[in-house]
């Protein structure tokens, strides 16, 4: 049994910053995440994209933000259970909780802070019969590191910002040796600016734009070698490639969290904005996973929510102690 003051479910940016704020209150945290690494959406979906709305950082790569948050949390020695989804939560008679993961790892604490973001998220996959056979053998649903595609032939599918931005990036920076963008319509859902940039590169011959078409088949022996493209007007054509990257977005699902007796609205946990507490005393929800009137799913809002929630958590753990707000400039950071 892992014992701690606060179990944080979700090691995304919001969960990580909560470790720092808890540390200032001398509360120890243990984080659980179903992904094998910390960082949530920032690490899993867009580590190389710059974020422009983190206060004090005119621009920071999402991956760098996570590195900084890990460094900021380090003095407070958080524990991690990674690669294991939190499956069940049990409330004991004394009001404390036991959180058990899919692998059976048990964690015990008086407070649970859910920072589960979009929940357990899965990419939307195109309906191609043998696509599973080529996963990690040429088929990827997320671009984590563009360098992985250096010198390679890539076919990207999709009509949103992700597909447009990555097709542009891999071609414009001369990372991939060939880039084709396949989209089933002749109009795109992405920003006009992104669409124009792709059209400009297509006119220069740096992107092969295949519209009104869909990838319907995959060929290869042990690894992907070719995609079958079905064009509405011209029938089938074969495109030789090393990678097929369908970027059709993510399917968010709260997963096990939805079964814990919490009040759920719009696939998110309802909270009281006084302290971001849920309907179960001792359980808080912060970041993308919660909902309330005026909610914004932004990292900076999650940082605020975690800070306020921890003040309330402190009062629950130490009802007899008065917490006086101290500036870090005055007190510094006293690690454990
Ligand atoms: C492409 C893209 C660009 C974005 N750009 C910006 C931007 O410019 N500025 C901005 O402020 N925001 C941006 N966002 C949104 C931002 O990423 C989110 O607001 C932020 O990640 C929320 O952080 P979080 O910690 O609440 O959740 P997440 O980052 O989603 O992390 C939640 C973690 O909880 C884990 N989890 C869920 N359920 C369980 C479970 N049962 N057990 C264990 N682990 C679990 C997940 O695996 C995940 O790692 C962007 C999002 C995307 C997709």
Distance 288 CA to ligand 1 centre (A): 6
Q: Which of 63-77, 109-123, 180-194 has the lowest mean pLDDT?
A: 109-123
CA distance 231 to 186: 12
Closest residue CA from atom 30 of ligand 1: 117
Ligand 1 atom with least separation from CA of 250? 53
Q: What are the pocket residues of ligand 1 if the criterion is a CB atom closer than 6 Å to any ligand atom? A: 9-15, 32-35, 40-42, 45-46, 51, 53, 85-86, 115-120, 255-257, 287-289, 297-300, 302
Give the pLDDT of residue 310.
Answer: 97
Among 37, 41, 118, which residue has the most ligand 1 atoms within 8 Å of its CB, making it the best to mutate?
41
Ligand 1 atom with least separation from CA of 302? 26
Distance 164 CA to ligand 1 centre (A): 21
Distance 267 CA to ligand 1 centre (A): 14
7-24 pLDDT, tens digit each: 999 999 999 999 999 999
Closest residue CA from atom 38 of ligand 1: 119
pLDDT band of residue 211 (cuts 50, 70, 90) is: very high
Instruction: Find the mean pLDDT for residues 299-321.
Output: 97
Q: Name the more confident of 203 and 162.
A: 203
Q: Which of 27-41, 163-177, 250-264 has the lowest mean pLDDT?
A: 250-264
Distance 259 CA to ligand 1 centre (A): 20
Closest residue CA from atom 5 of ligand 1: 51
Pick the closest to residue 160 from 246, 43, 229, 42 (CA basis): 246
Among 8, 17, 40, 190, which residue has the most ligand 1 atoms within 8 Å of its CB, making it the best to mutate?
40
Closest residue CA from atom 8 of ligand 1: 51
**Buried/exposed 152-180: b ≥16 CB within 10 Å, e otherwise:** bbbbbbbbbbbbbbbbbbbbbeebbebbb
Instruction: Find the mean pLDDT for residues 93-110.
Output: 95
pLDDT at 249 over 90: no
38-53 pLDDT, tens digit each: 999 999 888 889 999 9
Q: What percent of the chain lies above the pLDDT cut of 70?
A: 99
pLDDT band of residue 94 (cuts 50, 70, 90) is: very high
Which residues have a Cβ under 8 Å from the Cβ of 336 and sit 6 or more positions away? 23, 28, 75, 76, 77
Distance of CA 317 to the CA centre of its chain: 30
Give the pLDDT of residue 121.
Answer: 67
Mean of the per-residue pLDDT values for the chain? 94
Structure tokens at 226: 């070719």
Distance 117 CA to ligand 1 centre (A): 5
Q: Provide the 3-class DSSP secondary structure of residue 2.
A: strand
């Amino acid at each position: 049994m892992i014992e701690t003051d606060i179990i944080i479910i979700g090691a995304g940016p919001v969960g990580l910053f909560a470790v720092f704020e808890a540390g200032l209150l001398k509360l120890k945290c243990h984080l659980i995440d179903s992904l094998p690494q910390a960082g949530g959406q920032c690490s899993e979906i867009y580590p190389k994209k710059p974020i422009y709305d983190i206060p004090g950082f005119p621009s920071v790569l999402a991956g760098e933000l996570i590195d900084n948050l890990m460094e900021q949390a380090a003095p407070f020695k958080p524990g991690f259970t990674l690669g294991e989804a939190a499956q069940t939560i049990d409330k004991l008679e004394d009001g404390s909780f036991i959180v058990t993961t899919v692998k059976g790892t048990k964690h015990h604490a008086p407070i649970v802070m859910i920072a589960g973001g979009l929940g357990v998220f899965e990419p939307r996959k195109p309906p191609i019969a043998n696509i599973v056979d080529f996963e990690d053998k040429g088929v990827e649903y997320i671009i984590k590191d563009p360098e992985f595609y250096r010198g390679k032939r890539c076919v990207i599918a999709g009509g949103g910002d992700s597909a447009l931005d990555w097709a542009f990036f891999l071609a414009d920076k001369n990372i991939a040796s060939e880039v084709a963008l396949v989209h089933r319509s002749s109009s795109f859902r992405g920003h006009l600016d992104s669409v124009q940039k792709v059209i400009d590169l297509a006119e220069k011959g740096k992107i092969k734009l295949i519209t009104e078409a869909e990838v319907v088949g995959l060929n290869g022996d042990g690894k992907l070698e070719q995609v079958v493209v079905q064009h509405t007007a011209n029938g089938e054509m074969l495109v030789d490639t090393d990678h097929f990257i369908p970027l059709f977005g993510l399917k968010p699902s709260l997963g096990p969290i939805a079964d814990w007796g919490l009040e759920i609205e719009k696939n998110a946990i309802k909270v009281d904005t006084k302290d971001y507490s849920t309907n179960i005393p001792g359980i808080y929800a912060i970041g993308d996973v919660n909902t309330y009137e005026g909610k914004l799913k932004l990292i900076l809002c999650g940082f605020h929510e975690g800070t306020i929630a921890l003040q309330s958590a402190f009062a629950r753990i130490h009802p007899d102690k008065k917490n006086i707000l101290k500036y870090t400039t005055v007190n510094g950071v006293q690690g454990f």
